Homo-oligomer: A and B are copies of this chain.
Amino acid sequence: MAMSDTLKAISDPVRRQILNLLKDQSKPAGEIAAQFELTPATVSYHLKLLKQAHLITERREKNFIYYDLNASVFEEVLSWIYSLGIGGTPHDKK
Contacts and interface: CB of A to CB of B under 8 A. Distances in A.
B19 A11 contact: no
A13 B19 contact: no
Contact of A91 (B16, B69, B85, B91): B91
The A interface, classified by DSSP as helix, strand, loop or mixed, is helix
Contacts of A75: 86, 88
A39 interface: no
Nearest to A8: B11
Interface residues of A, number: 29
Given A11-B11, A91-B90, A23 B84 contact: yes
A14 to B, nearest CB: 11
A23 B81 contact: no
Interface in A19-49: 19-20, 23
A23 B90 CA distance: 17
What are the 10 A-B residue pairs with the smallest beta carbon separation, nearest first?
A: A11-B11, A90-B91, A71-B86, A90-B90, A71-B84, A7-B11, A74-B81, A74-B86, A8-B11, A82-B91
